[in-house]
Amino acid sequence: MENAKERLNNFLKFFNDNKLWIAIGFAVAVAAGVPSYLYQQKGADDFNEVWSRIYRMNYEVATAQQGGNEKEALEGAISEYSFLKDNLSTTGATPWLLSELGNAQYKAKKYDDAILTYREFINRFGNHPLAPVIRQSLGYVLEEKEQFNEAVEQFEKIAKDPEATYLKAQVRLDTGRCYEKLGQLNSAVAAYKEIINTFPESSSAKMAEYRLEDLE
């Protein structure tokens, strides 16, 4: 029993430490597939201004992480992204600006602000290629706030989205993890088995098998 509890804690710690980076990784993959969408307004001044400042803030945050000053850099990034959102017109870069703002708020543990930003993205750009990733990030923030039912709701919406096939294995794993936290173990087992049956070669299936060893 003690060993099973330790394995669960290790499983949860892995995702607590890495889930934002999982979402960001998917965002990067999506970015590679939609260059024409993003650059259709490249000639617009506001578009270029937003992108140049996003790149600069990303560089500054990455540099600060190496120097141990991430907190201050994140505060600066949040301030910069908020200013751009409020003062520049909507362009093809705006969805990415909201994504960067929400992620910075998330990493700074400003969870309520991140929830508002992610919801704004979904309301304004629900058909954008990044929308499923943003919804997943929203689910993660809700999970951080222990609003597990609300998190499951977000993950389930992604699982039903025909445009989000690249996320389906991961969000079923996310769903199972939240069900475990809710104590709904039968639902967690069902979610894990679905991953194994549907995506047997995925890394998520391996993690699901790991959890089933303790639950069954």
The residue-averaged pLDDT of 40-50 equals 59
pLDDT tens track for 92-145: 888 988 998 998 899 899 999 999 999 999 999 999 989 999 999 999 999 999
CA distance 184 to 188: 6
pLDDT tens track for 69-89: 778 888 888 998 898 888 887
Distances (CA, A) of 200 to 30, 97, 161, 166, 196: 23, 36, 20, 14, 5
Q: Is pLDDT larger for residue 149 or for residue 10?
A: 149
What's this model's pTM, rounded to 2 decimal places? 0.79
pLDDT attached to residue 2: 53
Band of pLDDT at residue 154, cut at 50, 70 and 90: very high
Instruction: Check residue 167 and report its DSSP letter.
Output: G
pLDDT attached to residue 102: 93
Number of Cα atoms under 13 Å in the Cβ half of residue 100: 27
Helix, strand, coil percentages in the chain from 3-state DSSP, rounded to 5: 80, 0, 20
Q: Which tokens go with 200?
A: 């047997």
Q: Which tokens go with 163?
A: 């445009």
Give the position of tokens 């039903």: 160
Architecture (CATH level 2) of domain 1-33+143-216 = Alpha Horseshoe (1.25)
Amino acid at 147: Q
Distances (CA, A) of 117 to 88, 125, 157: 16, 12, 18
Q: Is the dihedral of CA 77, 79, 83, 86 positive or negative?
A: positive
Listed by start position, the domains of the chain span 1-33+143-216, 35-128
Instruction: Check residue 166 and report its DSSP letter.
Output: G
Nearest 10 degrees: CA dihedral of 191, 161, 125, 132?
A: 40
94: left (phi over 0), alpha (psi -120 to 50) or beta: alpha
